[in-house]
Amino acid sequence: MPVALTASAAAASELAEQYAATRVRSLELVAPLSAEDAMVQSMPDASPAKWHLAHTTWFFEQFVLGALAGYTPVHADWHFLFNSYYNSVGPMHARTQRGVLSRPPLDEVLAYRLEVDARVARHFTRGDFDSQLQQCIALGLQHEQQHQELLLTDIKHALWCNPLKLAYRDDLALPLAANAAPLRWIDGCEGIVEIGASPWPHAPSMDHFASRQTSFAFDSESPRHRVLLRPHALANRPVTNAEYRSFIDDDGYRTAQLWLSAAWTRVQSEAWHAPAYWDDDLSHEFTLGGMRPIIPDAPVAHVSYFEADAFARWAGARLPIEAEWEHAASTLPVRGNFVEADLLHPAADTGTDTGLRPTGARQTDLRQMFGDVWEWTASAYAPYPGFRTLPGALGEYNGKFMCGQQVLRGGSCASPAAHLRATYRNFFYPPDRWQFSGLRLAKDRP
């Protein structure tokens, strides 16, 4: 007997369509890769493409299919290989050793995906997923979208490590050159404001899954709460390559006073002298389309929090706190250069993605708040007041990583558009720079 659903049939059908589309998208992203490409792990922080494909499938098998009575796993012995960090459901293969997993081969991993997808589809058809399992599927889709972006950034790093500097895809269009808008300061709101998302799911009904999961939020985005914003201003756009080049030319990487202590140690130990992927003559950078000329007015990418903080100090400014960023973005459309644009690289602002936000009797022009590059903030990735993790093993998803990391906002050129929202909190460690991470300046107002 199927479980009685609290969700509407229409909502379940919508979720099933989202499931199928998201899973197909992952396969499209790995299509340009060979089996050899798909098992490369170029550094401990990255994972092989094959592992991403298997782990996201394991997630659905473990937390969705595995919750059904009498379920038999497709490959019970793969559980150890493709668990990531869920200690409460069992041990896992060492993260740093994922690149040694030549077996199971890629074709068997792809067959595993197809089998799990077929089982999920059958249960959708029979109406076996109750409200709780549908919520878990929605979480799994957001999880897979995260891994789609990681798949691109991880393979970019792996191909960059190859002396031949070969492209992930030779057919990627070169982003259009355009003149960046003059840097202007946009006054932010002063006083008590609310940020964050309401705890998800918001209600027993699953109708909120319509419209591409726009009501979804990770537990780390909640609860909604009040914060006090002091007088401040945000830059109207992200920092560009040309502006960052000025920092380099002014000996920014050789001026210790600009850097945090841990940052200066990292600059010295790793001989940083430019963003990741820039060549030594500072004229070209490695992209998913191979080596290409640096576009001066495109947002600078692949800088760490350490570099973003040093640049802001050099510029006589600071990084925004996440509440300033979120409140400014909260009424803007989620529109920009995302993975769907198929550039897979930050682009100069052509003026077509401007978001105009009314503020009293005037309008402010905040550009490229979403897409192109994740924007580092000055905020540590910490729990909001009243934060509660999800129940059970899924409570390990976010909460246990709230230590030593910084929040980034806005999404990137490798992010799926449907994955983003103003409340979204991405997080990485301060030295990390293999992601599409950039910065927007902020400053205090008297």
Examine the domain organization and report whether 410 and 291 are in the same domain: yes
Tell me the pLDDT tens digit for each residue of 325-363: 999 999 999 999 999 999 999 999 876 544 433 333 233
User: What are phi and psi for residue 402, nearest 5 degrees?
Assistant: -85, 65
Q: Please tell me whether residues 112 and 201 are part of one structural domain.
A: no
What is the C-alpha separation between 55 and 58, in angstroms, rounded?
5
Structural domain includes residue 178:
no
State how far the Cα of 181 lies from the Cα of 202, in Å rounded to an integer.
40
Nearest to 152 by CA among 303, 313, 276, 37: 37
pLDDT at 205: 36
Are 149 and 223 members of one domain? Answer: no
Residue 201 predicted with pLDDT over 90? no
State the chain's mean pLDDT as an integer: 91
Q: Are residues 212 and 305 in the same domain?
A: yes
Tell me: the pLDDT tens digits for 401-413? Answer: 899 999 999 999 9
**Do 133 and 192 fall into the same domain?**
no
- Is 340 a member of any domain? yes
**Inside any domain, residue 177:** no
Q: Would you say residue 312 has pLDDT above 70?
A: yes
Amino acid at 318: R
Q: Please count the structural domains in the chain.
A: 2
3-state DSSP assignment of residue 104: coil
Number of H helices and E strands in the chain, helices first, is 10, 13
Q: Which residue has the tokens 């070209």?
A: 284
Note whether residue 166 is domain-resident. Answer: no
Q: Are 254 and 339 contained in the same domain?
A: yes
* Burial track 3-24 (b if 16+ CB lie within 10 A, e otherwise): bebebeeebbebbbebbeebbe
Residue ranges in 289-356 assigned as alpha helix (H): 305-314, 322-329
Q: Does 139 lie in the same domain as 96?
A: yes
Q: What is the CA radius of gyration of the chain?
A: 22
215 and 141 share one domain = no
Shared-domain flag, residues 324 and 416: yes
| Residue 4 placed within a domain | no
Domain range for 271 is 185-444
* pTM for this prediction: 0.92
CATH of the domain at 39: 1.20.120
The bridge status of strand 362-366 relative to strand 355-359 is antiparallel
Residues 14 and 144 grouped into a single domain: yes
Identify the CA nearest to 144 among candidates 226, 52, 277, 219. 52
* 48 and 16 in a common domain: yes
Q: Is 2 part of a structural domain of the chain?
A: no
Sign of CA pseudo-dihedral 133, 136, 138, 140: negative
